[in-house]
Amino acid sequence: MTAAPGTRTSARRQERRTRRTRRTRRIGRAVVVAVLLSALASWLVLSRSTGGEPASATASATVPTGGATAEGTEGAAGTEGTEGAADAALAAAVGALDGHFAVTVADPVSGASATWGDDSFVTASIVKVDILAALLLQNDGVLTGSQRSAAALMIEQSDNAAASTLFDAVGGAAGLDAANAAFGLTATVAGTDGFWGLTETTAADQARLLRVVFTEDSPLGSASRAYLAKLMGLVADGQDWGVSAADQGGAVELKNGWLSRDSTGLWVVNSIGRVEYGGRSLLVSVLSDGSASEEAGIALVESVASAAVRSFAADGR
């Protein structure tokens, strides 16, 4: 879960870019087909939910998530229908990709989201974002100098010793679970006996954690959110893969996790973060396991992130 000392060479980064370009070319045709299929899936779902009326007839019924109103019953039904269409479109885009994974894409401004897969995965190092969020929550955003130093190492370098120190500081599994209850992470269970990397979670819960970090829909104050986001924007060279493959804007805040399971030798590879696509900020979480190697897991996560974000944007969410 921790990178080797120092950063990877520029040649290694160029190799990763070349590999990503080749993957993009390979999936390009598949994405075109997926977009067409997603449009068809959206039309079919909307047709069923509206008795066969055109999609435009239901668009006005879609409302951002938020407080209910006296007029909210029909609006909620419309939102449920469009979310179902978004899930169907996402399924068409990523369902044919090989591997065991789950993905959620969310637009924090409109409240729209789409999810593929509800299985639980172990977090590996993406839980480090959760640990720091919990520490900030417990301390009202006020950390000691040593805690801030550990936080920077934990997020930017994915340092495991720093993570263990801060995991203990939040009260271990019990403290992290309590913070997650406040964050609304209903399907996340902290790893016990100090094994924070074996925390179990879902893609939807990780998207919710990203809302805690990047939106006002959060128990964290603005300074705490800005601090966490800043660290996620400073991850070390060589650790900037994953959801960044879907980015068009150049400024990405993310955290990745990678772990070889002792029992199988297969890899857990996860990536969560905020990307820019089509002029919008999108929150993306991709979880995976069962890859034969770290490189294979990274390739899977990047393919899933790219296809999912393109589908979500093409679907007009």
pLDDT level of residue 317 (50, 70, 90 thresholds): low
CA atoms of 72 and 198, how far apart (whole Å)? 40
311 half-sphere exposure, CB direction, 13 A CA radius: 39
In a domain, 51, yes or no: yes
SS3 category, 223: helix
Instruction: Give the count of domains, the chain.
Output: 1
Domain residues for the domain of 197 are 10-314
Query: Is the pLDDT confidence value at 283 over 70?
Result: yes
In a domain, 1, yes or no: no
pLDDT digits (tens, 9 = 90+) for 202-235: 999 999 999 999 999 999 999 999 999 999 999 9
Per-residue pLDDT at 288: 98
Task: Assign residue 271 the CATH number of its domain.
Answer: 3.40.710.10
In a domain, 149, yes or no: yes
Query: Is the pLDDT confidence value at 242 over 70?
Result: yes
Burial class (CB in 10 A: 0-12, 13-18, 19+), 177: middle
CA atoms of 67 and 88, how far apart (whole Å)? 26
Per-residue pLDDT at 7: 37
In a domain, 4, yes or no: no
CA atoms of 246 and 273, how far apart (whole Å)? 11
> Which tops the pLDDT comparison, 71 or 271?
271
Burial class (CB in 10 A: 0-12, 13-18, 19+), 308: buried
Instruction: Assess contact for 137 and 182: CB atoms under 8 A.
Output: yes
In a domain, 2, yes or no: no
pLDDT digits (tens, 9 = 90+) for 50-104: 333 333 222 222 223 332 223 233 334 444 555 688 899 999 999 999 999 999 9
Count of C-beta atoms within a 10 Å radius of residue 84 = 17
Sign of CA dihedral 270, 1, 244, 15: negative
Rg (CA), the chain: 19
Query: Is the pLDDT confidence value at 3 over 60?
Result: no
> What's the whole-number average pLDDT of the chain?
82
pTM of the predicted structure, to 2 decimals? 0.77
